[in-house]
Amino acid sequence: MSRVRITETLDIELDDEQWVCNRCDTVLGPARENYKLHLRAWARDPETIHPPLVEGEISLSPKAAWGMLVELYCPGCGVMVENELLPPGHPLTHDIELDLDDLRRRVAEAGR
């Protein structure tokens, strides 16, 4: 199997073209798709994470009306893979899109 580390918690299995949690080996979906779509999501009010620092209208804390904090976890082991603060109605960002054919070629060349 040809596995490549992509982030602290994500690997790509090149033979099967699958995202894989590198903590528990749970397959997280096709590597040509957004891995976030295959994680467990928890949308949280950002004020629960960043409580107001001062009293009043300007509290230095993000408001829920501005967006939600979305935490994304591996469904196998529960490790937090990613989190993002998204404006209302915004889909999960597709932040990693790799040229798998080129990556496979580079891995093969490095193994020679």
Domain ranges of the chain: 3-110
Rounded to whole angstroms, the Cα distance separating 67 from 85 reads 6
- pLDDT tens, position by position, 57-97: 777 777 777 888 999 999 999 999 999 999 988 999 999 99
**pLDDT value for 112:** 60
- Amino acid 63: pLDDT: 75
Closest alpha carbon to 42 in 8, 10, 76, 80: 80
User: Do residues 53 and 60 touch, judged by C-beta distance below 8 A?
Assistant: yes
- What's the chain's average pLDDT? 91
Between the CA of residue 3 and those of 12, 72, 79, what are the distances in Å? 6, 22, 19
At residue 111, φ and ψ (nearest 5 deg) are: -85, -5
